[in-house]
Structure 1
Amino acid sequence: MMAIHPTAIVDPGAQLDSSVEVGAYTLIGPHVTIGAGTKVGPHCVIEGHTSIGRDNRFFQFGSIGAANQDKKYAGEPTRLVIGDRNTVREFCTLNIGTVQDRGETTVGDDNWIMAYCHLAHDCVIGNQNVLANGVTFAGHVTVGDWVTIGGLTGILQRMHIGDHAMIGFQAHVAQDVPPFMTVDGNPLAARAVNVVGLKRRDFSAERVGVIRQVYKLLYRSGHTLDEARAAIEGLRGTEGGAADGDIDTMLTFLAASTRGIVR
């Protein structure tokens, strides 16, 4: 049986799986869909055209699916789509998209989103990411998978953050962050490879070794970016090709960057 607190208000048009739990004084709007096993805490507002998957946990005082904070927004039926098994802690705000971009803000699976985080319109958040308290995304930000972002970090609009990157506490992200890198500061600077994170994800010593070489070519060789990309391409086959997929990940990211990478 669906466990909805008697003080919660769920619009009859909302589609909630029979196993969804809804806490006291929570409001759920008519265009909301919530999948099996999801738990919504007290004093939450879930509105807009919002689709939520399975086994998510929303703690109290969240604002999910509210109108975006773009002054051009004129009430278009844009969306927020959230995947499965995400944890969203207290006082987080996740907004719908805009018609000026993809019309959708997207959160993948298995993300850990701590208190007071803000995901603005048209952001795309991948899977298995950790956003510490107070991380703030401007609009149109793209985050890959397995990224860790330190508390009170601000991320400028249209930034891209690559897979397995780590961003330190209170950073100012105004350039794209390549995969596998550890960055921090204001101005932002690349410090090293995210070795601890890679080892926790069972990257072999051979893969980590090649990624260290990639870091040196990007940040310690004195190469221009184009020269560094060519040199990274030359690492294919190193250690029996163990890191060729990681080289592909890096080169694809560098080729797609339009805002400039942190250097």
Structure 2
Amino acid sequence: MTANGGVDPTAQVHASAIVDDGATIGRDCRVGPFCVIGPQVKLGAGVEVKSHVVITGDTEIGDHTVIFPFSVIGEIPQDLKFAGEDTKLVIGKRNRIREHVTMNTGTAGGGYVTRIGDDGLFMAGCHVAHDAQIGNNVILVNNVAVAGHVVIEDDVIVGGLSGLHQWIRIGRGAIIGALSMVTADVLPFALVQGPRAELDGLNLVGLKRRGVARADISALRAALKVLKDGDGSFRDRAAGLAGGADSQYVRELVTFITGDSDRGFLTPK
């Protein structure tokens, strides 16, 4: 990335593209036909913007990210409270942002920044709203809608045509089935599905793919049973697990449940 704006001499910019003064186009970038790059945009090394892409606002895009045609990245929030304050969109490295994806900058009410991690896949038609915080290795399948202030931790998969309600958290390693409307926090490593999504067990396929030990998977299963059938409130049951949790995965589950939540939780059936 060039230090003070400008187009790196190794970058390739199509003659029909519009790159505003002040934009930073890093080394070995490729900007395709009919793209529009705004004056506050910063593209890292090796970023490819294929064609007919609009990147605007105070937007940073990490190295080797690829953005496919007709995406609009860094436009202002779809929030009537937004009053033109200076906000940002920060996208990490090696993301794949497919056709017609939209990602908005943040708002004053959400910390001013929408943030995307590394190595994500955002399939065609996805929307990431203001102030969302998305981790690494996240997959949003076609036409997923992520509302404002949503937190998605690492290694999450969200099935196509699903909607995530504002302010919810999706824990690490969770999977959400297609056509789900998620209105409460999703536990780490959980499997969630249904038109009004319900917690339906563990994401066993994801855990096995990541090489999680059988003992840890058994511990998570036992923890879910306690959360389902134990005494007291859901948070009380989680707190009761903390003392005897030998598995780091169970400890992560407990930390997630006992943390701050604006929407409550999808709980075991």
CA contact (8 A) 1:217 1:231 kept: no
- Structure 1 unpaired stretches of 5+: 238-242
- Equivalent of residue 246 in structure 1, options 240, 244, 249: 249
2:123 aligned with 1:89: no
Report if aligned partners of 2:245, 2:251 keep a CA contact under 8 Å in 1: no
Q: Counterpart in 1 of 2:207?
A: 198
Task: Say whether the 8 Å CA contact 1:156–1:174 is kept in structure 2.
Answer: yes
Instruction: State the Cα distance separating 1:235 from its structure 2 match.
Output: 3.7
Tell me the equivalent position of 2:29: 20
Work out the CA distance in 1 between the residues paired with 2:25 and 2:203. 40
Decide which of 180, 195, 200 is 1:171's aligned counterpart. 180
Q: Does 1:78 align with 2:60?
A: no
Alignment match, 1:149: 158
CA displacement at 1:76 relative to structure 2:
1.3
Partner SS for 2:110: coil
1:135 and 2:144 matched: yes
Please state how far the C-alpha of 1:186 moved relative to its aligned partner. Answer: 2.6
Verify: 1:258 aligned to 2:267, yes or no: no
Between the two proteins, what is the percent identity of the paired residues?
40
Residues in 1 aligned to 2:174 and 2:254: alpha-carbon distance in whole angstroms: 15
Does structure 1 retain, via aligned residues, the 8 Å contact 2:158–2:175?
Answer: yes
- Quick one: which amino acid aligns to residue 258 of structure 1? D
Normalised by the length of structure 2, the TM-score is: 0.92
For residues 200 and 112 of structure 1, the distance between their equivalents in structure 2, rounded to whole angstroms, comes to: 18
Return the alpha-carbon distance in structure 1 between the equivalents of residues 128 and 264 of structure 2. Answer: 22
Structure 2 contact 235–257 (Cα < 8 Å) conserved: no
* TM-align CA RMSD: 1.2
| 1:240 paired residue number | none
1:207 Cα deviation from its structure 2 partner: 1.0
The one-letter amino acid paired with 2:265 is I
In the TM superposition, what is the alpha-carbon distance from 1:258 to its structure 2 partner?
3.1
After the TM superposition, list the runs of 4 or more consecutive aligned residues in structure 1 that deviate by more than 4 angstroms: 220-223
Secondary structure at the aligned position of 1:80 is classed as strand
For residue 187 of structure 1, report the CA deviation from its aligned partner: 2.1
- Normalised by the length of structure 1, the TM-score is 0.94
Cα shift at 1:221 = 4.6
Aligned length: 257
Q: Which residue of 2 aligns with 1:230?
A: 239
Question: 2 CA distance for matches of 1:101 and 1:54?
Answer: 26
